[in-house]
Structure 1
């Protein structure tokens, strides 16, 4: 009896345990749903995609979910439809990533934007603002003004001229229609200049109307005449109305970043004023104020009354501080290679120079490379400016055949001789360091090459002699640092050799721009190797692609991490420095400047604390 009871109890316990472990039957379809839900990649993408979809699409998705529709091979949705949907989701995610990148770039550009306006101290202190440009007596011919706006738009489109600004003056196709006197036209003929270039077609009338202007055009496009010819016309008008008295002037001021460029601009002005004098027109006096030239030479001209002054920032600051020259009646200011000047550390000097003006002036800024950061900064000092752009700011001239070659560091000097055989003289060789310039110069002389060299370490007399000898053709090769790369115009340069790739792609554009000028063609050869920074090489790669040049294999294989974000929005490349191979989020130039500023802050703090302690 006991055994039987025990048996029944055990049987009941076994039964209850079976009920506890019972698993209900799940159909195959439901099990597949659960599996796909666990794997969940498609479902997860679908859920994320809902955030970017319209409300109607979301309602459709909810209906699908209610019907128990799940993505996958066994789903009611075809694989082709699933693929299309996934592609849309991927595009939506990509677009949101791009928007995020653009917002980040705007934030960075805003954070590094210049807060201090490019204006005089007195103007800032008194809150002086000029609302209207300076008025001039010049007017375009009536038959041109009567033409419809569509005519001017066609002309600009034909010459690839982009303009921004209010009430942009009309482009004019000939120098004669610009109302220049016969003396100026004769001087142009003597230089074999018969018709204006695109930047001159739009730029000269803009300046003659008295408008402030930012002029951007590729190297060798004739930017110098855009600001020189109108200035001579204004000074001629002033001198005719009321001759300049002793110690009066200048009326026009041209600031250049290098001595060589200032000397070249001064010589161009002298050429035109000589022709005016020969024709019996009033004498227009100009002076050159640069380091290495005695101040007394400038002071003599200023004593007679000077109309035009061409200067470098350092010497000009010195003369203003010593009251050798005043800007009381100066109404015309031009900064040539303006972005280079600011990059070279002259920004504070330029600000101080603005403080010496006693009234409104017409301000002109010119360069081949002018990133948005510099343009935005410059606009603070300009009144209703007109921006004239012929080609992209920072683009290389299409007349230059760019060749990039991989050359080991130790083989560079020897390979130079081989490169010199590519073309006939004259040839320009650029190097970053002064000691490299001297070494190359010495090596070429030993090999029997007629060469001269210039760099910042040589005195001005030696530099002037070297440049003059090269211009006249008595020397075949000029070896130089970047002092010769900005704005200098040498006739018929056949070949430019970059002994090393500069740290800044803007310098590269200026260097190769010494050849292929005035619609002539030229060759630029650049040596690169593993010592070069990858970010600069990426900029170079994209510059070559833009100019439709051959990209060597070792450059073509270079890929940046953010390659997919290189061409966002309307602007290409970096909005800070203009480089095409990176964005502002990883700009090496910006990073270097910020590092320098940080180290200077630390140094100043240390020095001030030390001074306080003692």
Structure 2
């Protein structure tokens, strides 16, 4: 069980690869926005593992197409999101169809009260494994640039010209701002895709697939793209709009520094964001530093790691004053 279609696509691809080594495990992904008839036909055949978004799998269960009375295990990825107000009623409905003897596994980077309540209600003597101290922000260097709203695009242009970006993800706080910024970046002469929840599913899939395969260097998106998406080539995340919560911040900047790689997170901060910046630092027990005159490439570029620092970073002039 996953909260977004993109994550379902990614998990199914990985599950299919693993399944090849497990005697031909049959894997199926089913999400909203895709053809229901295709899913019904697929479930006529043998399926061992279903990767699904909650609304679609519940629909298939209620139609009697997905028979879950013998399901032994339900895995909830991004459990905090699945147990938020958006999904929790659907999850409770799905569990009601499962057999009493089943195993439920929860995976989450944050552990809000909703997850704790769910655990006490549905899990019997669960084991709790906490890897957050090792994993959360390890390998990610965080900076902020203090700017006015009008300076943001100019600042972004400076970052693009000075940083050694393999691939970057740039976050905005609304779908409208995503489209406007993507247009600006293209006008500046940089390759850029964009993705948000109001786009047609087919187009979202294509953008996700093409960006993952390296067809474009920069992706502008909303928080749709924050959870669980593993694109190893991403070494820079930019919060063009600073997030409101520590949880969102954690998920956003976690798009860089995946699999032990190094990553850089740069936050464009206006006067309205100052309180949030301090609050997020306190909650995550981390330090977001002012952006320096030059950024050591060994902090975020793999081939420079554990080599002499290269000082050819952000430097000098009027541009630096705005950073």
Same-fold status (TM-score > 0.5)? yes
- Following superposition, the deviation at residue 392 of structure 1 comes to 4.5
| Cα-to-partner distance string for 1:489-524 (whole Å, 9 max, x where unaligned) | 001211000111112210110000011112211100
Pick aligned residue for 1:381 from 119, 122, 143: 122
Q: Is 1:539–2:285 an aligned residue pair? A: no
| Residues 403 and 452 of structure 1: CA distance in aligned 2, closer, same or farther (over 3 Å) | same
| Residues 461 and 484 of structure 1: CA distance in aligned 2, closer, same or farther (over 3 Å) | same
Q: Give the Cα–Cα distance (whole angstroms) in 1 for the partners of residues 91 and 173 of structure 2.
A: 26
Pick aligned residue for 2:7 from 236, 250, 261: 261
- Following superposition, the deviation at residue 269 of structure 1 comes to 0.5
Paired residues of 1:496 and 1:511 also in contact (CA < 8 A): yes
| Cα-to-partner distance string for 1:329-348 (whole Å, 9 max, x where unaligned) | 11100110010222351111
Residue 265 of structure 1 aligns to a residue in which SS? helix
Q: Which residue of 2 aligns with 1:506?
A: 247
Q: Give the Cα–Cα distance (whole angstroms) in 2 for the partners of residues 396 and 284 of structure 1.
A: 32
Structure 1, unpaired ranges of 5+: 1-254, 553-614
Q: Give the Cα–Cα distance (whole angstroms) in 2 for the partners of residues 331 and 487 of structure 1.
A: 24
TM-score between both structures, scaled by the size of structure 1 = 0.45
Residue 479 of structure 1 aligns to a residue in which SS? strand
Q: Which residue of 2 aligns with 1:351?
A: 92
Q: Is 1:399–2:139 an aligned residue pair? A: yes
Stretches (4+) displaced over 4 A? none
Pick aligned residue for 2:218 from 460, 477, 484: 477
Q: Give the Cα–Cα distance (whole angstroms) in 2 for the partners of residues 526 and 549 of structure 1.
A: 9
Say how many residue pairs are matched. Answer: 290
| Residues 336 and 322 of structure 1: CA distance in aligned 2, closer, same or farther (over 3 Å) | same
Paired residues of 1:423 and 1:494 also in contact (CA < 8 A): no
Paired residues of 2:144 and 2:288 also in contact (CA < 8 A): no
* Higher percent of residues as strand: 2
Q: Which residue of 1 aligns with 2:153?
A: 413
Paired residues of 1:333 and 1:364 also in contact (CA < 8 A): yes
Q: Give the Cα–Cα distance (whole angstroms) in 1 for the partners of residues 228 and 70 of structure 2.
A: 28
- Following superposition, the deviation at residue 530 of structure 1 comes to 2.3
Residue 494 of structure 1 aligns to a residue in which SS? strand
* Largest Rg, 1 or 2: 1
Q: Give the Cα–Cα distance (whole angstroms) in 2 for the partners of residues 482 and 330 of structure 1.
A: 32
* Higher percent of residues as helix: 1
Pick aligned residue for 1:339 from 76, 80, 102: 80
Residue 71 of structure 2 aligns to a residue in which SS? coil
TM-score between both structures, scaled by the size of structure 2 = 0.84
Paired residues of 1:396 and 1:547 also in contact (CA < 8 A): no
Q: Which residue of 2 aligns with 1:119?
A: none
With CA pairs under 8 Å and 6+ residues apart, which has the higher RCO, 1 or 2?
Answer: 2
Residue 124 of structure 2 aligns to a residue in which SS? coil
Q: Which residue of 2 aligns with 1:312?
A: 53
Q: Give the Cα–Cα distance (whole angstroms) in 2 for the partners of residues 336 and 378 of structure 1.
A: 14
Q: Give the Cα–Cα distance (whole angstroms) in 1 for the partners of residues 279 and 123 of structure 2.
A: 31
Structure 2, unpaired ranges of 5+: 292-323
Q: Give the Cα–Cα distance (whole angstroms) in 2 for the partners of residues 420 and 344 of structure 1.
A: 38
Show the 5 A alignment for 1:165-176: none
| Residues 326 and 346 of structure 1: CA distance in aligned 2, closer, same or farther (over 3 Å) | same
Q: Give the Cα–Cα distance (whole angstroms) in 1 for the partners of residues 78 and 148 of structure 2.
A: 33
| Residues 456 and 412 of structure 1: CA distance in aligned 2, closer, same or farther (over 3 Å) | same
